[in-house]
């Protein structure tokens, strides 16, 4: 039994982490830390991680669901206390701080897991296997969703380090870096930033491989109606399409049976395995692509965002 504490009890914790932990017999949620001090049905809740570590029950691991801007210090406290750490995506506000956390995890002999939940979408493993032996000629990403629906009141997402539209779009990049047989590099980006915030609300990113394959990503945080989370790859053997964030897979328009979509249960299964093996899993490739898009991207100031 892995005794785990949850830090940051917001929407993603309630919607995904708590149910996933309840469904995995290897974990026992024994404490939480959140400034809102929510009622978790008898589970002790502390104001912050320092209070949880000092006054709470004994822990083996900590899952961090705080905004990325606050992640570094919280993760360092857990790692230095000898706890295995699960990082909600994105794993940090910068690429270098994740490298720092990995070094601290090694120093203290504990596991660090940079979780990318979209990689555990039902269609992703089969898409990766199908593309592995094929030449991908072109790939497009269309990631368009309604920020008011999925991130209500989450002002941190618009602040420096919050990533704006890249908070959901990094899910697409995590799938891309998982399924592509070759490494991917950013070549250009165009970012639209509302005049009253720090992070983009829409954008276009051009990428490539060493072989020169064209990859494009069109991102939008203002799409109403049906939401679009699609990745399409053209090969010599047909067109592969992942839809609904990777939950559905088609090849040349024919649906492929992929089974139940179990993203967060899959994450905690991986975390339990890593703990059992004493092995960290730290992958910053999706975050690096976002950082590169910010570095090379041109910025267009657009009208203010009002929730």
- Collapsing DSSP to helix, strand or coil, 215 comes out as strand
Give Cα 149 to chain centroid, integer Å: 18
190 as an active site residue: the answer is: no
CA distance 302 to 63: 36
Helices (H), ranges, the chain = 11-12, 18-22, 49-55, 71-80, 95-108, 124-132, 147-150, 166-179, 263-277, 285-296
First-residue to last-residue Cα distance in the chain: 43
- Strands of the sheet containing 112-114, edge to edge, are 45-46, 27-33, 2-7, 61-64, 84-87, 112-114
- Of 234, 266, 22, 17, the closest CA to residue 122 belongs to 266
Q: How many CB atoms lie within 10 A of CB 86?
A: 28
Catalytic residue from among 83, 89, 138, 241: 89
Assess contact for 240 and 183: CB atoms under 8 A. Answer: no
Would you report the helix, strand and coil content of the chain in percent, each value rounded to 5?
A: 35, 30, 35
* CA geometry: angle 107, 73, 165, nearest 5 deg: 115
| Neighbour tally for 66: CB within 10 Å | 23
Assess contact for 230 and 242: CB atoms under 8 A. yes
How far apart CA 158 and CA 142 sit, in angstroms, is: 21
For the annotated catalytic residues, the residue numbers are 89
């Amino acid at each position: 039994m892995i005794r785990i504490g949850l830090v940051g009890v917001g929407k993603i914790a309630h919607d995904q982490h708590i149910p996933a932990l309840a469904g995995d017999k290897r974990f026992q949620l024994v404490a939480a830390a959140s400034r809102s001090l929510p009622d978790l049905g008898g589970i002790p809740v502390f104001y912050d991680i320092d209070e949880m570590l000092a006054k709470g029950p004994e822990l083996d691991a900590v899952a961090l669901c705080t905004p990325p801007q606050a992640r570094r210090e919280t993760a360092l406290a857990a790692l230095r206390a000898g706890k295995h750490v699960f990082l909600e995506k994105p794993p940090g506000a910068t690429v270098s701080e994740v490298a720092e956390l990995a070094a601290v995890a090694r120093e203290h002999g504990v596991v660090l897991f940079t979780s990318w939940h979209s990689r555990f979408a039902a269609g992703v493993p089969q898409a990766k296997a199908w593309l592995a032996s094929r030449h991908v000629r072109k790939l497009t990403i269309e990631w368009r969703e309604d920020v008011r629906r999925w991130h209500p009141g989450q002002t941190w997402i618009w602040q420096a380090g919050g990533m704006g539209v890249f908070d959901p779009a990094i899910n697409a990049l995590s799938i891309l870096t998982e399924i592509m047989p070759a490494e991917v590099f950013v070549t250009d980006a165009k970012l639209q930033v509302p005049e009253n915030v720090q992070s983009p609300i829409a954008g276009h990113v051009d990428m490539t491989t060493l072989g020169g394959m064209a990859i494009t990503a069109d991102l939008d945080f203002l799409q109403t109606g049906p939401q679009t989370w699609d990745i399409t790859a053209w090969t010599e053997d047909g067109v592969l399409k992942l839809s609904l964030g990777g939950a559905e897979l088609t090849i040349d328009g024919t649906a492929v049976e992929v089974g139940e979509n179990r993203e967060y249960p899959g994450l905690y299964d991986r975390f339990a395995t890593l703990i059992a093996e004493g092995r960290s899993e730290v992958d910053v490739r999706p975050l690096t692509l976002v950082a590169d898009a910010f570095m090379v991207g041109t910025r267009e100031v657009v009208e203010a965002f009002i929730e």
